[in-house]
Amino acid sequence: MKYEAVIGLEIHVQLNTATKLFCDCPNRPGDEPNRNTCPVCLWLPGNLPHLSQEALEKAAIACLALNCIIQPVSAFDQKVYYYPDLPKGFQLSQHHMPLSRNGWVDITAEKGGMKRLRIHHIHMEEDVAKLVHETEGKTPISLVDFNRAGTPLIEIVSEPDIRSPYEAMEYIKALRAQLRYTGAAECSMEQGTMRVDANISIRPEGTGEFNTKVEVKNMNSIRNVGDAIAYEIARQTECLEKGEAIMLHTRLWDPDKRVTTAMRGKFAGPCVPDPSVAKIRVTEDWLKKIQERLPEMPAKKADRFAAEYGLTPDEALAMSLDRDISEFFEETAKQGLPPRKVTNWITTHLAPLLKDRSQAIGETALTAERFARLLAMLEKGVINTHGAREVLLKLLESNESPEDLVEKGQFRQVSDMSELEVIIDAIIADHPADVEDFRKGNEKVVGFLMGLAMKASKGKANPKLLREMLVKRLA
Amino acid sequence: MDNLFDLTIIQLRKMLKKKEITSVELTEYYLGRIDRYDGEIKAFLRPTEEIALQMARDADEKIARGEEGPLLGIPLGLKDILCTKDIETTCASNILKGFVPPYDATVIRKLKDAGYVHLGRLNMDEFAMGSSTENSAFQTTKNPWDITRIPGGSSGGSAAAVASGLCVASLGSDTGGSIRQPAGLCGVIGMKPTYGRVSRYGLIAFASSLDQIGPFSRSVSDCATMLNVIAGYDPMDSTSIPEPVPDYHSFLGKDLKDVRIGIPGEYAIKGIEDDVRKNYEENLQVFKDQGATLVDISLPHTGYAVATYYIICTAEASSNLARYDGVKYGLREDGKDIIEMYKNTRNKGFGQEVKRRIILGTYVLSSGYYDAYYRKAGKVRTLIRQDFDAAFASCDLIVTPLSPTTAFKAGERIEDPLTMYLSDIFTIPVNLAGLPAVSIPGGFDTNGLPIGLHIIGKALDEGPILQAAHVFESVKKVRTIPERLTRWVVPDSRLKKPTQQHLNLEPGT
Ligand SMILES: [Zn+2]
């Protein structure tokens, strides 16, 4: 029998607010342990939460970016369980009345075309403390770092619309792009600011039934989510084929062994409305203000880029996926450069450089204005591609003007024919056999000799001119 | 200097300002009375003599500099449920023994700003769960009018201390009657303000949707003074009400003409003692004589209030008390793993009544029972609230008996929690509706035990409540301290004894 997978994802995203969700401590979990704590987030006896407006606003913006409908009234509940990472024995989470419902994201389907994946709801909750287990020494001890306790999260709960590891990964990527656009969250799975749990069940293909699901946790990259889901589908298929029943439980993905293993059940207590956090009542005015703060989102921006700048759909998509890049592109293009040339330079040169350096554009010294001046020099033939690349590298690191860098690094393109003549003379003199080959009709030799000549010019020769002169001399 | 305890805070403030007395003398006076009487009454868990004298010296310096403050130099007692920076705060529980809060409750900050002197920590039922103060992990407080009887609870220490003249006034907390019932049984004034009128920040939570802090005093004037200090919006408590606070003294001295007083038919329950009923009827006549109009009203869902209350308060308590797990502060009893450590800690740290309520609360919230109990209780609560809304359409205040009986004997009901729970029948609906109410001394039964009178107002109507209480107080003039506790006079040597500071300054003398 052929099976198909039914997958739903629960994604926790940390909001990048200045302070925690219910107190005024800095939202910096990475600081020296227990530095960012106060009586409220340690939940000392007598303490009460006060909801951060910034967290509420950022959560609402994130909801809007994922096309969710903000609910007129939402409220926090207490999820009771006992564990040392929870300083008050319950977690404040919007269980019964979430902030928003009924959203969606679009992905490119595996077989092409668009597929819309629905979001059931998004709710706010507080993160828990971090446990550090020290196993060295005679008695192993566990330490609690409360820096993360009370930092704001949203949990995005999808409908079970996902059918494959590919769709799951595309869903996460699309969602991440949307959220990063809002500036409300970093969404890094590697750094734990985005955590994905997958609920997976399988059913005979074509049937509409929902079978017992298994929850899989502990994937720390999008790739791992795909792999864990694929593993789990295979495991469940094998179970069913052997006639074994699927049990409702939670499994952990082991990134080294690349398998999932069953996890011990955690005691989950009741979930009751919290009387101390005031209910969130959304007014139309407030919602309007939040909507105004929502930036132009990627899909809309891609359409506009295609129309306004004449980019192909693929180019427009590439230029709009990341908000920093999209703004950088537009600013550069506005300096009067051919937009497709800008796109090309961003995709083939700038983006790989940033990736190598693990930097966002804003973290480098490069500005759109200086980037535009560099491309203008390239356009005018003052420098060649090689030189432009060298200067670009420097522009990422210093605030010097591209013109100064060209002069200082002597990247100015050599278009002086007499200078090129000298180089060509030397090459021809050193490689008589290759010259002979060419004359016998082997045109590939031009490429080889061009390479040598460019090298001899330290990459500065105007390649077009150089080729013309070389071919003329060989003939 | 005798009978300083008969003076109001306003009168004491005048004396302090005129330097007829110092705050150190006033503090020594009360410390002297605590030494003399508290061995018997056991209202204080821990007097804080050194802190009190230090705060009194600071107050005297401020007075000398001409500074003002509504409580500047006034010694107060605090229920041991209010977190006070650097002072052990236990909630009368073994699980919090040794817990020293690193922060002040908002009300404590306000008392400090007003210049108060911290006399000590007052006994209570553990985690405010009880109606007799017999559930304290540390000691049993006696009723000053008859030490074989309970003072009421849970703020029994706060009531008994004020009724014995062991402090000028005190603070307590009221979840289902925990201020008003002990005030009534000890014959003093106890006010539960509107839910949200006083910040709960720093009040160790029992049931967060019901808890409210309020004052105990021996005069309506002092109740107004205390309320003026502690009331007001607090951004640290998002359930506190962002409304300006009136000067509660401005309501005192007004008559009761045009005031309509509602008399709920449902409060004539079986089990109400004859003396209590008779006293209540006499007291209604007092209001009538003073010009108030009496109106019959109905609060039809009163009969469901106690059951509703015990579902809501135990449910909230079960999660509020989840934090006492031995991990961070207070008691820790080790175990072979974390779960066993939790069990050992909570088993040893909590008393019977607290365990009973945690179990009840966990039960009513458990899956399968949630709708039948907790959700339904929420609906009944709404009905009770609506009862009051409807009643207040035809009256301004509601007057009821405070408790069906006067103070009962110690040990009499400790094994019978249901009867104990039912003694709060008149006070509980007020908490469920979030309304303000006061208990004032209404008179005495044939055994000479105080009978409380209960005045309930609309939300934020603490002023009109105090207005009626003040009229009643001036007409009926009910004694607020047992005569036998007024005979001993604090010796002058105690008041004028040289302080440690003086000794240090003059080593040769
Ligand atoms: Zn904090």
Give me the helices (H) in A277-416, please. 284-293, 298-309, 313-320, 323-333, 339-345, 351-357, 368-379, 385-395, 402-408
Amino acid at A195: R
Judge whether A156 and A175 are in contact, CB under 8 Å.
yes
Q: Taking the CB of residue B428, how many other CB atoms lie within 10 A of it? A: 25
Question: Which residues from chain A sit within 8 angstroms of residue B96, using beta carbons?
Answer: 45
CA A340 to centroid of ligand 1, rounded, Å = 50
Q: How far apart are CA A82 and CA B11, in angstroms?
A: 52
Can you tell me which residue has the tokens 């009969």?
Answer: B303
Local confidence pLDDT in tens for the 475 residues of chain A: 788 999 999 999 999 999 999 999 999 999 999 999 999 999 999 999 999 999 999 999 999 999 999 999 999 999 988 889 999 999 999 999 999 999 999 998 999 888 999 999 999 999 999 998 887 777 788 899 999 999 999 999 999 999 999 999 999 999 999 999 999 999 999 889 999 999 999 998 888 888 889 999 989 999 999 999 999 999 999 998 898 888 888 999 998 999 999 987 666 677 889 999 989 999 999 999 999 999 999 889 999 999 999 999 889 988 998 888 999 999 999 988 899 999 999 999 998 999 888 888 888 989 999 999 988 888 887 888 887 888 888 899 888 888 888 777 777 777 777 777 888 888 888 888 888 888 888 878 888 888 888 887 777 788 888 888 888 877 7
pLDDT of residue A418: 78
- Residues of chain A neighbouring B319 (CB-CB closer than 8 A): 78, 80, 89-90, 270, 272
What is the whole-number distance in angstroms between the Cα of residue A150 and the centre of ligand 1?
7
Segments making up each domain of chain A, as ranges: 3-287, 296-408, 417-474
Cβ atoms of A219 and A199 closer than 8 Å = no
Name the 3-class secondary structure at A130. Answer: strand
Q: Residue B505, Cβ neighbours under 10 Å: how many?
A: 10
Among residues B79, B110, B142, B458, the one annotated as catalytic is: B79
Q: Are the CB atoms for B177 and B191 separated by under 8 Å? A: no
Half-sphere exposure of A247 (CA within 13 A, CB side): 7
Confidence (pLDDT) at B505? 43
Q: B205 to chain A: nearest residue by CA?
A: A46
Minimal CA separation from A89 to chain B, in Å? 5
- Asked whether the beta carbons of residue B238 and residue A84 sit closer than 8 angstroms, the reply is no
**Cα(B398)–Cα(B391) distance, rounded to whole angstroms?**
9
Contact: B103, A42; criterion CB under 8 Å: no
Residues 6+ apart with CB under 8 A from B224: B248, B249, B251, B252, B466
- Please give the backbone phi and psi of residue B214, each rounded to the nearest 5 degrees, phi first: -160, 170
Show the tokens assigned to B231. 């009331």
Residue of A23, A38, A44 to mutate when probing chain B, most B C-beta within 10 A: A44
Separation of A27 CA from ligand 1 center, angstroms? 9
B474 an active-site residue? no
Fold category of B20-305+377-505 in CATH? Amidase signature (AS) enzymes (3.90.1300)
* Interface check B379 vs A, CB under 8 A: no
- Give me the residues near ligand 1 (ion), CB cutoff below 5 Å: A 23, 25, 38, 40-41
Residue B329: list chain A partners with CB under 8 A.
Answer: 44
Strands A73-80 and A3-14, bridge-based pairing: unpaired
Phi, psi for residue A123 in degrees, rounded to 5: -125, 160
Active-site residue flag, B178: yes
Conformational region of residue B326, where left means phi above 0, alpha means psi within -120 to 50, and beta covers everything else? left
| B55 and chain A in contact, CB less than 8 A | no
The whole-angstrom separation of Cα B326 and Cα B344 is 9
User: Distance (Å, rounded) from C-alpha B348 to C-alpha B332?
Assistant: 9
- How far apart, in whole angstroms, are the C-alpha atoms of residue B365 and residue B331? 27
Please tell me if residue B192 touches chain A, with a CB cutoff of 8 Å. Answer: no
Q: Distance between CA B349 and CA B352 in Å, rounded? A: 10
Q: Tokens 């004359």 label which residue?
A: A439
Partner residue facing A48 (CB), from B99, B236, B315: B236
A276 to B239: CB separation less than 8 angstroms, yes or no: yes
In whole angstroms, give the CA distance from residue B385 to residue B391. Answer: 10
The per-residue pLDDT string of chain B (509 residues; one tens digit each, 9 = 90 and over) reads: 568 999 999 999 999 999 999 999 999 999 999 999 999 999 999 999 999 999 999 999 999 999 999 999 999 999 999 999 999 999 999 999 999 999 999 999 999 999 999 999 999 999 999 999 999 999 999 999 999 999 999 999 999 999 999 999 999 999 999 999 999 999 999 999 999 999 999 999 999 999 999 999 999 999 999 999 999 999 999 999 999 999 999 999 999 999 999 999 988 877 899 999 999 999 999 999 999 999 999 999 999 999 999 999 999 999 999 999 999 999 999 999 889 999 999 999 999 999 999 999 999 998 788 889 999 999 999 999 999 999 999 999 999 999 999 999 998 887 777 777 778 899 999 999 999 999 999 999 999 999 999 999 999 999 999 999 999 999 999 999 999 999 998 888 888 765 544 444 444 33
CA angle A250, A253, A257 (to 5 degrees): 140
Residue of chain A whose Cα is closest to the Cα of B196: A276
Between CA B486 and CA B291 the distance in angstroms is: 35
A44 contact residues in B (CB cutoff 8 A): 83, 101-103, 329
Query: Alpha-carbon Rg of chain B, whole angstroms?
Result: 22
Q: CB of B499 within 8 Å of any CB in chain A? A: no
Contact B204 A45 (CB under 8 A): yes
Q: Which helix (H) or strand (E) holds B217?
A: strand B212-217
Count contacts between A and B (CB, < 8 Å). Answer: 100
Check if the beta carbon of residue B115 is closer than 8 Å to that of residue B69: yes
Residues of B in contact with A55 (CB under 8 A): none
- Total Cβ atoms within 10 A of residue B463: 20
How far apart are the CA of A39 and the centre of ligand 1, in A? 6
Q: Which of A112, A129, A215, A109 is nearest to A170 (CA)?
A: A109
State the burial class of residue A22 (Cβ atoms within 10 Å of its Cβ: 0-12, 13-18, 19+): buried
Residue B395: closest CA among B256, B267, B263: B263
Of B178, B221, B240, B439, which one is the catalytic site residue? B178
Q: Does B344 touch chain A (CB under 8 A)?
A: no
Q: Identify the CATH number of the domain defined by range A417-474.
A: 1.10.10.410
pLDDT in tens, B416-425: 777 777 788 9
Selecting from A39, A49, A269 the residue whose C-beta is nearest the C-beta of B102 gives A39
Question: What per-residue string of b and e applies to A409-448 under the rule 16 or more CB within 10 Å gives b?
Answer: eebebbbeeeebeebbeebbeebeebbeebeeeeeebeee
3-state secondary structure of A417: helix
Tell me the one-letter amino acid at B453. L
* C-alpha pair distances (Å), B84 with each of A352, B78, B104: 59, 9, 5
> Measured between CA atoms, how close is B388 to chain A, in angstroms?
21
Provide the 3-class DSSP secondary structure of residue B400: strand
Predicted confidence at residue B1, as pLDDT, reads 57
Query: What type of residue is A272?
Result: V
Q: How far is CA B256 from the centre of its chain?
A: 26
- CB-based contact, B204 to chain A, within 8 Å: yes
Model pLDDT, residue A301? 92
Quote the pLDDT of residue A420: 79
Pick the closest to residue A456 from A416, A417, A413, A426 (CA basis): A426
Say how far apart CA A284 and CA A268 lie, in whole Å: 37
Handedness of CA A258, A260, A264, A266 (dihedral sign): positive
Of the candidates B363, B382, B383, the one whose C-alpha atom is nearest the C-alpha of residue B317 is B363
Alpha carbon of A29 to ligand 1 centroid (Å) = 12
User: To which H or E segment does residue B17 belong?
Assistant: helix B9-17
Cis before B154 (ω within 30): yes
Q: Helix, strand or coil for residue A380?
A: coil
B79 is catalytic: yes
